[in-house]
Amino acid sequence: MPDIVLTTLNAKYIHAAFGLRYLMANLGDLQARACIAEFDINQRPVDIAEQLLARNPRVIGFGIYIWNVAPATEVIATLKRVRPDIAIVLGGPEVSYETSEQKIVELADCVITGEGDLKFAEVCAGLLANEGDARLRANSKFPKIIPAELPDFSRLALPYDLYTDDDIAHRIIYVEASRGCPFTCEFCLSSLDVPVRQVPLPALLDQLQRLLDRGVKQFKFVDRTFNLNVNVSKAILEFFLARYQPGHFFHFEMVPDRLPETLRESISAFPPGALQLEVGVQTFNEEVGGLIKRRQNYDRLEENFRFLRGKTGVHIHADLIIGLPGETVESFAAGFDRLVALGPQEIQVGILKRLRGTPIARHDVEWQMVYNPHPPYEILQNKLIDFATMQKLRRFARYWDMVGNSGNFIASTPLIWRDGSPFHSFMRWSEWLHAKTRRTDSIALMRLMELMFEFLTIETRQDRRHVAETLWSDYRRGGRHDKPGFMKDYLPVEAIKSESKSRTDLPKRQARHVV
Ligand code: SF4
C-alpha cells in the first residue's frame, strides 16, 4: 500500500494530469512509496473517496483547479469524516490565492501555494518522518499555508516517463517548454507568473524523442506564449518537422502579434492540419485592452492571421472574451466581425471569469462587475451589459461552438450572415434557435441541421436547393452517408450518391476543417 496518493479530478478522462506527474517525478526517494490515482469530474465524490481509502494512504495530495474545486471539496469532506487521520495536502492554481475564503482550504491540513513540484516532496518527507498520524504532524510541523519558492528547471526532474502506455494510447499528452508569461493581462493567472523560465532544451528534446519513439502522435504544449523565445520555438518546430509522420498533431498557444520570418518559415513547412495554434486575441477594442493591460499591435496581428490562413495549413483556434470592463455589445460585435473576416477555423467566445488572485478585480466597483460566486466564476452582468443581455451572449457563445466551431457546418455557417454582420446575424439565429429548443446542449446533429435548414429557408428566405446542397456537403465532410429526409427533395440524385471523407488521422474536430 502506498503512503502517498497523488490525485485529482480531471475535466475529462482524456486529459492526463500533467501536474501530478511533475509532483511524482520530483518525489525523490519517496517516489517508491507513492502512486497516482486519477479521476474525472463525472465520477461521484463518494465513490472517489472510497477508491482513495482503499489504498490506505497516510498522505493524499490533491490537485485543485477551477473545474474540480466543487466535487473535490465533497471528496475531501467525506475523507475527513471517515478517516480524519489521513493528511490532506492541496496544491494547484485554485488554492494558490484567496485561501482564507475557501471551504476546501478549511478542510485540508496543508495547502502548498504556487508551483509545488519540489515543495510537495519536502512536505511529504516531514509528514512521513516517523510512524503515526501524519495529520497531527502536519498540524505541528507546518503552517497551514505553505508558499512554494519558484522551482528552478535545472533542479526539476521531467515527468514524461510517467505517461503510461495506456496514457499514450488513449489520452492527450501534455508537454511544456516554458512556464510563466511576461505579459500582464489582468484577467489571466499567468500574468502573475513572472519571470518566464525555459526547460533546458536538450533535456526536453531528449524527452520528446522518447515520447515519439513510444508512439505519441499528438502533443499539446501548455506554454502560455510559445512564440516568446523564437530560437526555442524554432528549434522545437524543426525537431518535429524532421520527424514528421502522417497523423502527427502539435498544439501551441501564442500571442498573435509576434511571428517573425524565421518562425513563419518553420510553420509553413508543416503539412495541412498538423499544427494547431491557439491565438488569444481577447478584444479588438484598444481602450479595453488598455484598461486590462493587454496591449497588442492589431496591424501586425491581422498581418499574421492573413499569413497563417493564406500561406500555411495551420488550424487557428482564436479566443475572444465577452464581458471585459469597457467592452460594449457593439464593440464586441465589431471585434467578432473583424475576427471572422480573418478566417480562423475556430473562434472560442469565452465569458469573462474572475479567477482567484487575478488583478481584474480592481475594476469591480467602477465597472459594476458582478460575477457568479461559484466556479467557474463567470461574469453575470456589468455596467455596460445587463444580465438578460449577458445570457443572450452566453447562448451565442454556446451555439457558436456547436455550429461555428464544430466543423459540422463549415460551408453552411456563412449562409447565416451572407453579406451582413456575422455577429448580429448569428445572434438572430441564436435567439431563434433558443426560442425553438429552449436548450443550449444535447441537440442532435440531424435536428440542428433541420433547424438550420428551416431558419435559412424560411426566416432568411434563401433558396432551398442551395441551402440543402450546402448543408449536405457539410454533412458528408464528416464521413456520413445517411440521407437526411427533410432535404432529400432538394438534392439532385447524383449529389446523394457521391461521397466525401474527412481525414481520419487528426483529432475529429480539426480533421473536418482540412478540406
Ligand atoms: S492572456 Fe496570454 S499573454 Fe496575457 S498574461 Fe495570460 S498567458 Fe500571458
Q: pLDDT (tens digit, 0 to 9) for every residue of the chain, 515 residues total? A: 899 999 999 999 999 999 999 999 999 999 999 999 999 999 999 999 999 999 999 999 999 999 999 999 999 999 999 999 999 999 999 999 999 999 999 999 999 999 999 999 999 999 998 777 767 666 677 899 999 999 989 999 999 999 999 999 999 999 999 999 999 999 999 888 678 999 999 999 999 999 999 999 999 999 999 988 999 999 999 999 999 999 999 999 999 999 999 999 999 999 999 999 999 999 999 999 999 999 999 999 999 999 999 999 999 999 999 999 999 999 999 999 999 999 999 999 999 999 999 999 999 999 999 999 999 999 999 999 999 999 999 999 999 999 999 999 999 999 999 989 999 999 999 999 999 999 999 999 999 999 999 999 999 999 999 999 999 999 988 888 777 888 888 887 766 555 555 666 777 777 777 75
Q: Which of 191, 283, 319 to mutate to test the pocket of ligand 1 (most atoms within 8 A of CB)?
A: 191
Residue 294 CA: nearest ligand 1 atom is: 4
CA 190 to centroid of ligand 1, rounded, Å = 6
Neighbours of 143 (CB within 10 A): 10
Look at residue 205 in the predicted model and tell me its pLDDT: 98
Per-residue pLDDT at 484: 85
Q: Which atom of ligand 1 is nearest to the CA of 188?
A: 6
Distance 224 CA to ligand 1 centre (A): 6
* pTM greater than the 0.85 cutoff: yes
Give phi and psi for 51, each to the nearest 5.
-70, -35
Closest CA to 143 of 168, 119, 173, 110: 110
Name the β-bridge partners of 87: 59
- CA distances to 247, 420, 447, 486 from 415, rounded to whole Å, are 32, 10, 18, 18
Is the C-beta atom of 412 inside 6 A of ligand 1? no
444 C-beta neighbours (distance < 10 Å), count: 8
- Distance from Cα 213 to the centre of ligand 1, integer Å: 33
CA of 181 to the centre of ligand 1 (A): 6
Which of 394, 281, 382 lies closest to 336, judged by CA?
Answer: 281
Pocket lining: 185 vs ligand 1, CB cutoff 6 Å: yes
Which residue's CA is the closest to the ligand 1 atom numbered 4?
A: 185
- CB of 190 within 6 A of ligand 1: the answer is yes
* Cα 225 to ligand 1 centroid, rounded to whole Å: 7
DSSP track, 325-356: TT--HHHHHHHHHHHHHH--SEEEEEEPB--T
Give the per-residue pLDDT at 305. Answer: 97
**Cβ neighbour number for residue 49 with a 10 Å cutoff:** 21
CB 314 within 8 Å of CB 279? no
pLDDT at 357: 93
C-alpha span between 411 and 429 (Å, rounded): 16
Q: Is 183 in the pocket of ligand 1 (CB under 6 A)?
A: yes
**Which amino acid is residue 31, in one-letter code?**
Q
The owner of cell 478517516 is 83
The pLDDT assigned to 360 comes to 97
228 pocket-lining for ligand 1 (C-beta < 6 Å): no
Residue environment code for 94-133, b if the CB has 16+ CB neighbours within 10 A, otherwise e? bbbbebeebebbebbbbbbbbbbbbbbbebbebbbeeeee
- For atom 3 of ligand 1, the residue with the nearest CA is 183
Is the preceding omega at residue 376 within 30 degrees of 0, hence cis?
yes
User: Which of ligand 1's atoms lies nearest the C-alpha of 224?
Assistant: 7
Choose among 396, 316, 384: nearest CA to 351: 396
Write down the pLDDT at residue 481. 76
Strands (E), 110-202: 110-113, 145-147, 173-175, 178-179, 197-198
| d(CA 319, ligand 1 centre) in Å | 11
Spell out where 128-248 has E strands: 145-147, 173-175, 178-179, 197-198, 218-221
